[in-house]
Amino acid sequence: MHLQDFWFILIAVLWIGYFFLEGFDFGVGILTRLLARNTAERRVLINTIGPVWDGNEVWLLTAGGATFAAFPDWYATLFSGFFVPLLIILVCLIVRGVSFEYRHQRDSERWQRNWELAIFWTSLLPAFLWGVAFGNIVRGVAIDQDKNYVGTFWDLLNPYALLGGLTTLALFTFHGAVFTALKTTGDIRHRARVQATVLGLVTAALAAAFLIWTQVHTGNGWSLAALIVAVLALVAALGANQVGREGWAFGFSGVTIAAAVGMLFLSLFPDVMPSTLNDAWSLTVSNSSSSPYTLKVMTIVAVVFTPLVLLYQGWTYWVFRRRIGVQHIPAAAHH
Amino acid sequence: MDLAVAHETISRWQFGITTVYHFLFVPLTISLASIVACLQTAWVRTGKEKYFHATKFWGKLFLINIAMGVVTGIVQEFQFGMNWSDYSRFVGDVFGAPLAMEALIAFFFESTFIGLWIFGWDKLPKKIHLACIWMVAIGTALSAYFILAANSWMQHPVGYRIDPVTGKAQLTDIVRVLTQNTTLVQVFHTLTAAFLTGAAFVVGIASYHLWRAKQGKETDRRKTAAMRTSLRFGLAIAVVAGLGTAISGDTLGKVMFEQQPMKMAAAEALWDTQAPAPFSVFAVGDVSKGHNSVALEIPGILSFLAHNDFSSEVPGINDIAAAEAAQHGGQPTDYIPNIFVTYWGFRLMIGFGMTSFVAALIGLWTTRRKFWLAPEHRTGEDEPPKLMLTRNREMNVFFTRWSWRIGILTMGFPLVANSFGWIFTEMGRQPWVVFGLMRTRDAVSPNVSVGTQVLGLATLTALYAILAVIEVKLLAKYAAAGPNTDEKPPAKDPTLRGPSDEDSDQPLAFAY
C-alpha cells in the first residue's frame, strides 16, 4: 500500500475518532435543552462529559494537523475555501470550551443561564456545520486549476449538504442521548432512553436519505458495504436501547457514526476534494500529498503515539466510569 | 488601498492579534502547571495544610487561565489554512510535521490529564493524582517545544530542499528541524520567560494578601501561611528564571546576529555598518532618510552582544537592505522591517522582563528567613514577613509600603515583556514569512476576499475582547478571595478500584 493511501485512511480514522467522541459531547450539549428540566439536571449532563470533552476535541486538532502534514494542498484548499463555516465553527468551539469552565465560577443565576444557553447553541451549530462541510467535500465544489475554491459561501448551502448537516445533527444528538442513558442514573436515565428512541427514528430517516443519495451520486462497492453496516448498526442501537442494554446501544450508535463517516471517505477515495468544474482539477491523494520522506516520518510518529493516546484516553473513561445523578451534584458552586 | 496590500495587511493584523492574545495565556499555563505540581508534591510529601491550600488556590487560577489558552489555541491550528493558504501549500511538507506531532504528542497528553486532575481528587490515589498534574506540566512544555521548532524553521529554514518540479519546500531531515540551534535557544528562552511570568504572577498575588495581612485587613492565619510559602517560592523561581531568560536571550541574540542580521540591526536602529558598534540607549530615527536624528549610545557594547568582542564589525540596516535587494531584486527599502516597532519592542521586552527579575532579587533578600535575621525580627510561618535590609534593620514605613506595591505590580510586567518579545521576533523578520524563501505578501490566501477577511478579523477581535473582560474579572475575583481554607482534602485516600457502595450517593469532589 502507498503511504499516501495509508494517510488517507489515518485521516479518516482521526475524523471518525473525532465524530465518535465529540459526537456525544455535542449531543449532550444539545440535550441540556431537550432533556434536562432544571439546573441540577443540566449539571448532571454537563458533568457526564466534564473530564473528557477537552481530550475529545483534540481529535479535531490532530485531524487538522495531520492533514497539514500529510496533504498540505487539501488543508489549504479546504480551510481557505470553507472560510466562513469554519469561522463559525471556531467561534462555537471557543465559546463552548469557555462555557464549560466558567459556568460554575459565579453563583449568579443569570450568569449560569447565559453560559448554559451558550453550551446549547455552540453544540448545535458545529454538529450541523460539520455535516454540511463533509457533504460539500463528498459532493465536490468549484475548484480551479490552482486548487483554489472559487465558489461563494452560499454555494455551500446546497440541498445535499444541508441534508448532510441535518443528518449529523440528528445522529450526534441520538448518540448523546444513548451516552446519557449509559452515564446517568435515576429519572434522567429513563427519560434519556425514551428520547433516544424518538431521536433514533428521526436519525434513521435522515441518515437513510443522505447515505442513499451519497451512494447513488458517488458510491462504489466498498461504500455500499459501509452503508449497510451503518444502517444495521443504527437498527441494532435502537433495539438495544429499547430493551435497556445501554452499553450495547452506545456501542452500536458509535459503529453507526464510524460506518457513516467511513462511507463518506470511501466514496471520496482516491479524491480528497473533487472539483465540479473539471475532473482534472480535483485534489487526489496523489496530487495533494507531502513527499514520501515526510509521510514516512509521520507514519512512525503516528504508529508509536496513536495506540498510546487510545490507551490513556481509554483509562480516563474507566476512571470516570460511574454513573452520576442529581444526588452527586454538589449543592452550591464551590467557593 | 491596493487589493494585494489589503489582503496582506488584514491577514497580518488577524494573525498578530490572535497570536499575541493566545500568548498572554500560554506562558502562565506552562509555568503555573509546574508551580502547582511542585506545591502539590510538597503537600503529598509533608501533608502540611498550607501546601494543600496553596495547590488548590493556584490550581483554580491555573484552570481559569488554561481554559482561555486552550480555546484560543484552536484558532491557531486552522488559521494557516484559512488566511495563508499559499504559505501552507509552500511549507506544508516541512511545517506540518511539527504541528501534527504537537497535537499527537502534546495536546492529547495535556488535555486528557488535565481532565483527570480536575475531576480526580476523589477518584485517584494521591500519588497517581499528583502524577497527572506533572503529566500536564510535561505536556505544556512539549507543546511549546514543537511549535517553537515550527516557528524557528520559518526564522531559519534547515533540513529541506526546494523541489525542482513543484517549487515547494520539501523536508529532507526532520532531526535537523527539531534540533537546530535556533529551535533549542528559542525553546530555552521561551520556557525561562514563561517561568518568570508565572513566578511574577504568584509573587504579585501573594504580595497582595500579605500586604493586607500586614495592615490587619486579613486575619485568617492559614491563608497567610499559604501565601507566605507561595511568595518565597515565587521569588525563588523568578530569580532563577530571570537569570535564565537573560542568558538565553543573550545567546539568542548572537544566533540572530548570525542568521538574521537585519532583525538585530533594526533592534538597535543601527543604520550604518560600524566597528566597533555601539548599543543604543535612546534613539529617534528618520526612517525615510535612513539615519537617527537623536541617538544616545554606549560604544562597543553591541559588538560584544553580537560576537563576544568589543571591537568587531556589526552590519547596519542600509547595507544589509542593499545586499538583500541585490540578491532578491527590488528596492532596498522593501527589506527593512518596521524600525519603530522592532527598536522599541526590543527595549520594552528587556526593560519589563528585567524589572521583574530585579524586583524578585530584592524581594528574596528582604523577605529572607531566620539565618540572617536577628531573633526579634523573625516572624512565624503564618505571619507576613518583615522586610529586612540588614540583620537588625527593618525597612522604613514608606519603603515597606512601596515594596509591597511593587511586588503586586510586578505580576503584569513579564506579560508585557513576552508580548513585545514576540512582536519583535515576528515583525523583525518582515518582509519574510519564511526567511529568505517566501515573502509575507506571497503567503496569503488568494481566494479569500477582503470582505471575508475583514469578517474574520472583526469577529475574532470582538470575541477575544469580550472574553478578556470576563477572564480578567474572574481571575481578579478569585485572586482577591485568596485560598479557601475551609476546604479539606478527601478524608481517605481513594483507590483505583473505585468507591465502595456505602458512599455511592456522595456528591462529587468537583463538578462543573
pLDDT band at B446 (very low <50, low <70, confident <90, very high): confident
Would you say B356 and B235 are in contact if contact means Cβ atoms under 8 Å apart? no
Helix (H) or strand (E) holding B296: strand B291-298
Which chain B positions have a beta carbon within 8 Å of A312's beta carbon?
112-113
* Cβ within 8 Å, pair A86-B499: no
pLDDT band at B499 (very low <50, low <70, confident <90, very high): low
How far does the CA of residue A143 sit from the closest CA of chain B (Å)? 10
How far does the CA of residue B500 sit from the closest CA of chain A (Å)? 11
* Cβ within 8 Å, pair B100-A313: no
pLDDT of amino acid A335:
47
- Mean pLDDT throughout B8-25? 93
pLDDT exceeding 90 applies to what percent of chain B? Answer: 61
More confident residue, B380 or B512: B512
The residue in chain B having the minimum alpha-carbon distance to the alpha carbon of residue A45 is B512
How far does the CA of residue B381 sit from the closest CA of chain A (Å)? 25
- Mean pLDDT throughout B36-65? 94
C-alpha cell at A157: 448551502
Q: How far is CA B340 from the centre of its chain?
A: 23
Cα separation, B177 vs B182, in Å, equals 9
- Mean pLDDT throughout A206-214? 94
Which chain B positions have a beta carbon within 8 Å of A51's beta carbon?
115-116, 118-120
Residue B487 reports pLDDT greater than 90: no
Give B201-236 pLDDT, tens digit per residue.
Answer: 999 999 999 999 988 888 888 999 999 999 999 999
The residue in chain A having the minimum alpha-carbon distance to the alpha carbon of residue B111 is A55
* Cβ within 8 Å, pair B92-A68: yes
* Cβ within 8 Å, pair B511-A81: no
ipTM (interface pTM): 0.93
> What is the number of other CB atoms lying within 10 angstroms of the CB of residue B47?
11
Which chain A positions have a beta carbon within 8 Å of B93's beta carbon?
72, 290-291, 294
Among the residue ranges A18-27, A187-196, B438-447, the one predicted with the least confidence is: B438-447
Q: Could you give the count of Cα atoms lying within 13 Å of A122 in the half-sphere of its Cβ?
A: 18
> Which single residue is written with the C-alpha cell 465560577?
A105
How far does the CA of residue B488 sit from the closest CA of chain A (Å)? 12
Give B144-167 pLDDT, tens digit per residue.
Answer: 999 999 999 999 999 999 988 888
Dihedral of CA atoms B70, B73, B78, B79 in degrees, nearest 10, equals 150
Pairing of β B160-162 and β B169-171: antiparallel
Q: How many residues does chain B have?
A: 512
pLDDT of amino acid B95:
94
To probe the interface with A, which of B94, B95, B104, B449 has the most A CB atoms within 10 Å? B104
> Which single residue is written with the C-alpha cell 540572530?
B256
- Mean pLDDT throughout A230-239? 95
* Cβ within 8 Å, pair B171-A329: no
Cα separation, A222 vs A234, in Å, equals 19
Cα separation, A149 vs A76, in Å, equals 10
Among the residue ranges A96-100, A240-244, B54-58, B281-285, the one predicted with the least confidence is: B281-285
Please provide the average confidence, as pLDDT, over all residues in chain A. 93
Q: Residues 89 to 108 of A: which have CB under 8 A from any B CB?
A: 90-91, 93-95, 97-98, 100-106
Which chain B positions have a beta carbon within 8 Å of A93's beta carbon?
71, 74
* Cβ within 8 Å, pair A149-B487: no
Pairing of β A283-284 and β A271-273: antiparallel
Cα separation, B88 vs B92, in Å, equals 5
Give A293-311 pLDDT, tens digit per residue.
Answer: 999 999 999 999 999 999 9
Amino acid letter for position A204:
A
Residue B140 reports pLDDT greater than 80: yes
Q: Could you give the count of Cα atoms lying within 13 Å of B179 in the half-sphere of its Cβ?
A: 4
- Mean pLDDT throughout B79-104? 93
Cα separation, A93 vs A86, in Å, equals 10
How far does the CA of residue B462 sit from the closest CA of chain A (Å)? 11
Show the CA angle centred on residue A205, arms to residues A197 and A188, nearest 5°. 20
Would you say B341 and B333 are in contact if contact means Cβ atoms under 8 Å apart? no
Q: What is the secondary structure of B480-499 as a DSSP string?
A: HH---TT----SS---TT--
- Mean pLDDT throughout A39-67? 94
B49-83 and A72-81 helices, crossing angle to 10°: 90
C-alpha cell at A129: 456545520
Cα separation, A240 vs B400, in Å, equals 71
Would you say B383 and B213 are in contact if contact means Cβ atoms under 8 Å apart? yes
* Cβ within 8 Å, pair A319-B505: no
* Cβ within 8 Å, pair A68-B95: yes
Which chain A positions have a beta carbon within 8 Å of B113's beta carbon?
312
Among the partner-chain residues B71, B86, B107, the one whose CB lies closest to the CB of A98 is B71
More confident residue, B271 or A171: A171
Q: Residues 162 to 221 of A: which have CB under 8 A from any B CB?
A: none
* Of A121, A3, A298, A39, nearest in space to B95 by CA: A298
Would you say A53 and A285 are in contact if contact means Cβ atoms under 8 Å apart? no
Would you say B273 and B319 are in contact if contact means Cβ atoms under 8 Å apart? yes
* Cβ within 8 Å, pair B99-A81: no
Amino acid letter for position B55:
T
Classify the phi-psi angles of B336: left when phi > 0, otherwise alpha if psi is within -120 to 50, otherwise beta. beta
Give B61-88 pLDDT, tens digit per residue.
Answer: 999 999 999 999 999 999 999 999 999 9
* Cβ within 8 Å, pair A76-B88: yes
Which chain A positions have a beta carbon within 8 Å of B85's beta carbon?
76-77, 79-80, 148
- Mean pLDDT throughout B259-273? 88
To probe the interface with B, which of A43, A47, A60, A68 has the most B CB atoms within 10 Å? A68
The residue in chain B having the minimum alpha-carbon distance to the alpha carbon of residue A51 is B115
CB neighbour class for B228 (10 Å; exposed up to 12, middle 13-18, buried from 19): buried
* Cβ within 8 Å, pair A94-B463: yes
pLDDT exceeding 70 applies to what percent of chain A? Answer: 99
How far does the CA of residue A331 sit from the closest CA of chain B (Å)? 8
Cα separation, A45 vs B245, in Å, equals 45
- Omega within 30 of 0 (cis) for the link into A72: no
pLDDT of amino acid A249:
95
How far the first Cα of chain B sits from its last, in Å, is 49
- What contacts B453, CB < 8 A, 6 or more positions away? B7, B10, B11, B14, B83
Cα separation, A149 vs A78, in Å, equals 8
pLDDT of amino acid A250:
96
Which chain A positions have a beta carbon within 8 Å of B86's beta carbon?
76
How far does the CA of residue A135 sit from the closest CA of chain B (Å)? 19
pLDDT band at B294 (very low <50, low <70, confident <90, very high): confident
Count Cβ neighbours within 10 Å for each residue of A215-229 and write b for 16 or more, e otherwise. beebbeeebeebbeb
* Cβ within 8 Å, pair B171-A150: no
pLDDT of amino acid A71:
95
The residue in chain B having the minimum alpha-carbon distance to the alpha carbon of residue A323 is B504
* Cβ within 8 Å, pair A79-B447: no
More confident residue, B416 or B485: B416
How far does the CA of residue B74 sit from the closest CA of chain A (Å)? 7
Helices (H), B367-488: 397-409, 413-427, 450-481
Q: Which residues are registered as beta bridge partners of B283?
A: B295
Q: Is the dihedral of CA A207, A208, A213, A215 positive or negative?
A: positive
Would you say A69 and A298 are in contact if contact means Cβ atoms under 8 Å apart? yes
C-alpha cell at A309: 493516546
How far does the CA of residue A4 sit from the closest CA of chain B (Å)? 13
Which chain B positions have a beta carbon within 8 Å of A305's beta carbon?
104-105, 108
Among the partner-chain residues B68, B88, B174, the one whose CB lies closest to the CB of A98 is B68
Residue B511 reports pLDDT greater than 90: no
* Cβ within 8 Å, pair B463-A95: yes
* Cβ within 8 Å, pair B81-A79: yes
* Cβ within 8 Å, pair A104-B74: no
* Of B16, B457, B467, nearest in space to A95 by CA: B467
* Cβ within 8 Å, pair A54-B99: no
pLDDT of amino acid B3:
65
pLDDT of amino acid B4:
66
Cα separation, A283 vs A139, in Å, equals 13
pLDDT of amino acid A332:
65
Cα separation, A261 vs A131, in Å, equals 10
Classify the phi-psi angles of B507: left when phi > 0, otherwise alpha if psi is within -120 to 50, otherwise beta. beta
- Mean pLDDT throughout B443-454? 88
- What contacts A300, CB < 8 A, 6 or more positions away? none
How far does the CA of residue A164 sit from the closest CA of chain B (Å)? 23
Residue B500 reports pLDDT greater than 60: no
Which chain B positions have a beta carbon within 8 Å of A320's beta carbon?
119, 123
Among the partner-chain residues A150, A302, A329, the one whose CB lies closest to the CB of B507 is A329
pLDDT of amino acid B293:
77
> Which single residue is written with the C-alpha cell 453544540?
A123
Cα separation, B154 vs B91, in Å, equals 9
Give B453-484 pLDDT, tens digit per residue.
Answer: 999 999 999 999 999 999 999 999 999 999 99
Three-class DSSP category at B374? coil
* Cβ within 8 Å, pair B97-A294: yes
* Cβ within 8 Å, pair A83-B82: yes
pLDDT band at B5 (very low <50, low <70, confident <90, very high): confident
Would you say B343 and B266 are in contact if contact means Cβ atoms under 8 Å apart? yes
Q: Which residues are registered as beta bridge partners of A149?
A: A143
Cα separation, B421 vs B435, in Å, equals 18
Rg (CA), chain B: 25
